[in-house]
Structures are given as C-alpha cells and as structure tokens.
Amino acid sequence: MDAGVDPTGTTGLGGVIVLVGLVGVAAAVGVGEPADADPVGTGVVPAQAVSRTMDSPNAARTRGEDGFVMPHSSPSTLGWRVAPAVHPKRWHHGVMGSRTAPPRRPVAVVGTRYEQTDLSINGVRIRMIDVPARTPSPHTRTLLILPGHTARIEGFDAMVPALSEHHRVVVLDLPGSGYSDRPNRRYTLRYYEDTIIAVLDHLGITQTIPVGGSLGGNLVLRLGHRFPHRFPTLVVWAPGGAWKAKPRLAAITRRLGRTAFWPSVRIQSRFWFHPQFPGRQQALAETFTYYREVLCPGFVKMYWGIAADQLAHSLFDIAPEIEQPTLMLWGDQDNGANMGAGVARLVDQLPNNVFVTFPGARHSLEAEVPDELSAAILHFLAGTR
C-alpha cells in the first residue's frame, strides 16, 4: 500500500478503529511485531531498528509470569515475527520474570540533550526536563509541553532551543510512556490530567501555557476547560478527541492486549509523517526501537487504556466553553480519521482561537516542521501578553 495514500482513513488513535476489525485475524495467525528487516513496510532497512538488547529466545515457547506466551521466532503469513525483539530475561516489570529494574533512561535510542530529573507523584516516578529561559524578561512565561500518545521528551528536543530563548520550558514523560514509571493500572485521561496538576503543584507552578499535539493537544484543551485560571493560554495541534465519542468501540479497545499492539502500530505508523519527510525512516526506526525497550504490561495497559478513553470522549462537548486564547495548528495532509474535519469543527466551536496550517505536513508537526511550529507558537504568544 502506498504510504502516501490513506484508504482506511486512519492516523494516530484513528488506527484503532480499523484495528478492532483486524485483531481477530491478527490473533489467529499469530501476528507480532514487524520484522527488523523492514519494521514499517518502507522497503528500507534502518540500522536503528535493531535493539541493543535484541536476542532470539532459545525455547520454542515460554510463558511469563503475567501470562504472555512468546512463540519461537518464525515468519508468519503476513511476514511478521511472533517473538519479541528483546530477550525474555531482559523484559521489564516481570514480563518474563525479569529481576532487573525497568529502564529509567533511554538506552537503545538517543536520549535528550537536556538534564533529566525525576519527580515522585503519588508513588509514580515522572521523568521530566525543566529548561530555564536563556534571556528572561518581564514577559517570560512557563511552557508545559505534553507529548502525544506513547511519545517521549526527546521528540521535542528540536523545539526547545527556540522556545527557551525567552521562556521556561518543561516537558514530561506521562505515566506509562517514555521513561517514566509504567504501573500496571487503569489509564484514563482524568488520571493524566490529575498527574499533570500534581506535577505543577510539586514544581510550584501556579500558571502555565500548555502546549501539545495529538493526545497532548487533547489534554491541553481538557485542562484548559477544567482549570481556566491555571491555563490562561492554550497551544494545540491535531488533538485526539476531535471526533464524536465512540463508547462501544472504546469498550472493545480497552480489552485489547499485547497481541494487537504491533498490528495497531503497523497501521498507525504509515500516517504519522508525510512520505516525503526526509527524517521519516529514522524517526520510525527509533520509535520502534523505543517501543521494544519499554514494552511491558504497564506500557500495553497505557497504550490501550488511553486509546480507549480518547475514543470514549469528544472535545466537541466542551470546546464551546473554552474561552482562553487558543492557538490551533494543523498539517494540511493530516486527514486520517477525519482529523481535518475535526479540527475545522473545533475552530468553529472555540470562542477565541487563531488557526494556523502547515502545507504538506501530517500529524507529527514537532518532528516534521519543528522550526516553523516553534515560530508560530512564539508569534502567537507575543500577541497574547
């Protein structure tokens, strides 16, 4: 299938919609992760796709303490490998009875260039960076960057230099994602919102400008709706939840597990970046390597739990009540899951917004057009002092 065509209308969480219809087939044939030779069907074999902890299990079948069954590596009828790319003894959080601690920092992928710190929020370790303004002024504000679904701090490294010239920049790894703790619990949008508020309280930040796309954009608008005085200005691109609520599909999605994880990623990854984006191959390879490094029951629980909760709730229900100045951004090639139509509806609903489009860009604006995205944000903030 041409990566530049979206016949299914899937991107980001929209890939779940198609996945639900495919998961029965995936489970029947034993579909696992994409083979290292070509993890996303691009025809390119990136070196970064091979995890440093990769090894082949010796046993034909091994059952972990959590009940995951790991068949021996062999090609399936769809060309996917069933076994994980990580040796069983190196899986984390007890997936295969590991005695080693889960990774607290990136090992198999490049880490952020900025100093990383950890906060303990309600017993959960949260990884973050806190970059002060290089040239503070009376107009200096704190920007809180919230990553998208499964995304991590490193995805915003290219934006931090421009944003931190005059503003403090805080970026979090949300629970279950990145290199924060991955508790095996129920994940919801409200849990994320409450965690973010607790982080701000811990840091003594009473007001901040939340910035985020996809899941991060969904959280920005939800936080702005719940706490308008704490979040006086909002910055959003292609937010999850820009669709009508789908409670039945959400209920099905929440029941999915590891077997369906890699097929879902296979579908979604085709639409994260424009096919002509020069960094597409490297970005996809690093994402798959990162997934292999952190894959564990808590990560899978987070993946489907947050996917389900985004499907279960619509931003259309709260957008008319969000009165803060809001910058809405969108790549004009990001039309899967009717994202373009959803963004257009939000632009009509939000009482006080500025709408900016990026020609030729898709869903991951922070990766495809980080300089242009940063410039648009700074221009908007300069007009909302």
Domain range summary for the chain, segments of one domain joined by +: 1-385
Q: What are the backbone angles phi and psi of residue 120, rounded to the nearest 5°?
A: -100, 110
The predicted structure's pLDDT at residue 100: 58
DSSP codes, 322-372? --S-EEEEEETT--GGGHHHHHHHHHHH-SSEEEEEETT--S-HHHHSHHH
The predicted structure's pLDDT at residue 348: 98
| Residue 76 token pair | 């399936």
| Residue 86 token pair | 């990580």
The predicted structure's pLDDT at residue 367: 95
The predicted structure's pLDDT at residue 6: 33
Give yes or no for a contact between 311 and 241, defined as CB atoms under 8 angstroms apart.
Answer: no
Which helix (H) or strand (E) segment is 213 a member of? strand 209-214
The SS3 assignment for 128 reads strand
The predicted structure's pLDDT at residue 139: 92
The predicted structure's pLDDT at residue 101: 56
Interacting residues of 37 by C-beta distance below 8 A, sequence separation 6+ = 45
Please choose, from the candidates 63, 64, 74, 88, the residue with its C-alpha nearest in 3D space to the C-alpha of residue 33: 74
For the chain, 385 residues long, the average pLDDT of each consecutive 10-residue run is 34 46 36 39 32 29 31 29 36 43 87 98 97 96 97 97 98 98 97 98 98 98 98 98 96 92 87 88 92 93 97 98 98 92 98 97 95 98 89
Q: What are the backbone angles phi and psi of residue 269, rounded to the nearest 5°?
A: -65, -20
Assess if CATH 3.90.700.10 describes domain 1-385: no
Which helix (H) or strand (E) segment is 310 a member of? helix 297-312
Q: What are the backbone angles phi and psi of residue 62, rounded to the nearest 5°?
A: -135, 135
Q: What are the backbone angles phi and psi of residue 210, rounded to the nearest 5°?
A: -75, 140
